[in-house]
Amino acid sequence: MRAQTPSIMPVTDTPPAVLKAALKEALAEVLDEERGLIQEIVEDALQEMALAEALREVEAHERRYGRRPGFYQVEGEA
């Protein structure tokens, strides 16, 4: 007979409700501690979504009316 290899994950008798509560508490603590980082991530995601929507609108306009010369050019000095 082969010897049984030990499980890599430890087995616990802790009730699932207690584990769930501990996980929720830990997650809330991390979110609170990293509030600035999370805010930055959300802001970046919203900006990316707005940019993507603007590009879709430009593409739709070009399909409907065609590309006009100078449409992407800005007048004046940079």
Cα–Cα distance, 32 to 25 (Å, whole number):
11
Q: Is the model's pLDDT at 71 over the cut of 60?
A: no
Average confidence (pLDDT) over 48-52 = 96
3-state secondary structure of 65: helix
Average confidence (pLDDT) over 9-34 = 90
Degrees (nearest 5) of the Cα angle 52, 55, 56? 85
Kindly list the domain boundaries of the chain, sorted by start residue.
Answer: 35-66
3-state secondary structure of 4: coil
pTM above 0.85, yes or no: no
Output the furthest CA–CA distance in the chain (Å, rounded): 84
